[in-house]
Chains A and B, each alone.
Chain A
Amino acid sequence: MGLSEGMRKINLRLLLHLSIGGLLCFLTLLTLKEFELIQMFIDWLLKSLNCLGALIFEEAQLGQKLVSLGLIHLPSGFLGGLYTGYKVKEKLEVNLIFPSVIVLLISAIRAVVILYISGYISSPQFFSIILGYYFGLGDDYLMGVIIPFLVMTAGVYLGGYTVNWQVEERVEEEKISLVFGD
């Protein structure tokens, strides 16, 4: 009885930290993506480099998505990973997958809420949009969901292992001279 209570306590604590890690990822993602901070930076950069019009081409859109992955999804995952790695020390290789899964779930719930508010919930398109976007039945699921999820997961692992990386500093070897004076 005491043992199972203890286990439950540990699991709840782990669950709490993983959830906070996921929430941190999501909030960073929301700040960088939805408030368009990075998008404004990309627009400003392309405008400064006199190549904003290139975004009419599909390959340039792919380039823009790569920049977004590097500046939005990877740092979001990394930040969540730093927190999770700081609080969770055991079984990192398994536990660090959860923050990005939590982000995926929160994003899916948020999409459902937005569709509900916009009145799509009663439309026949509702389930096709949700299924399409989150379960890969749509056109853009690869760049829209799968790759951002993988990049964010990579960010979480890198953040988690950055905190837990044990570095043993090399001790400077003392040089002992065996050469005696004349």
Chain B
Amino acid sequence: MRIRRKIFGLRPPLAIFIILVIALFSAGYLIIHFSLSRNLSEDGEYILFETDFLKFEFPRNWRARPKWENNSLCIINMLNTEADSFFGLIYYKSWKFAQSVFSEFDLKDGLSIATFEINKFYSKIRERAQNATLQFLENGTLNVSGYDAAYTIFHIENVTVGNLQYNLTGILVYFLANQGPIEIVFYTWADRIWEERYEVFRSKILESLVIKHGA
């Protein structure tokens, strides 16, 4: 009778199974680790994310998703480490598409577009939370990557999801790059610490945002 040997004291198929699990897990983790280490900032605390049109840094432990992109749009979104704030960026790749979305507005009037987008967001919230109320706290302009950007800080009270009720505070920034408009939104539902969260967004993400030449 043929002798079938054991590997590490285990039946060979079981040993191969364990080795495969460990190998797939290790290979997966190493790929994640190397893609991270290739894109870290100089101090190692931030990830440098770059596309054909823009680049920016964000904290390395933010819960990011891969960018979604088609011929007209590029969308990037992520949650912060504490999962109490959302950051989103929409880049319109073509003026034609942007015109079709904002057909009733003059694209150069950034403030009215920012207000329009917030109202659209608010009306979606109102579908689920009838008691929600919207306040515009501050309007103005700021400099983003050399462009004058319009911004609006807003506050929505009594947002309900299931049994939870909370208030949202956020900012929407809108500006026109050479190739198309860019919208950036940041909001938190832990509105008591809005200042703290906003400071991270402004000083780390917004200030590191660079729109590439020609974009």
Contacts and interface: CB of A to CB of B under 8 A. Distances in A.
Interface of A: 43, 45-47, 49-71, 74-75, 78, 151, 154-155, 157-162, 165-168, 170
A158 B16 contact: yes
Interface string B3-30: 1101000011110110011111101111
Given A56-B67, A57-B66, A78 B31 contact: no
Question: Which secondary structure characterizes the binding site on chain A?
Answer: helix
A51 B61 contact: yes
Contacts of A56: 47, 49, 64-67, 76, 78
Nearest to B36: A54
Interface size class of B (residues with CB under 8 A): 35 or more
B32 A70 contact: no
Nearest to A157: B13
Interface of B: 1-4, 6, 11-14, 16-17, 20-25, 27-36, 39, 47, 49, 58-67, 76, 78, 81
8 contacts: A53-B59, A74-B17, A74-B20, A74-B21, A155-B17, A158-B14, A160-B13, A165-B12
B28 A53 contact: no
Contact of A58 (B1, B22, B27, B66): B66
A67 B28 CA distance: 5
A45 to B, nearest CB: 8
B20 A159 contact: no
Contacts of B58: 53
A60 B35 contact: yes
Contact of A154 (B20, B35, B39, B63): B20
B33 A52 contact: no
Contacts of B14: 158, 162, 165
Contact of B60 (A50, A78, A168): A50
Contact of A55 (B22, B25, B59, B66): B66
Nearest to B27: A66
Given A162-B11, A167-B11, A168-B4, A74 B24 contact: yes
Nearest to A161: B13
3 interchain residue pairs of minimum CB distance: A70-B24, A63-B31, A66-B28
Contacts of A65: 28
Nearest to B4: A167
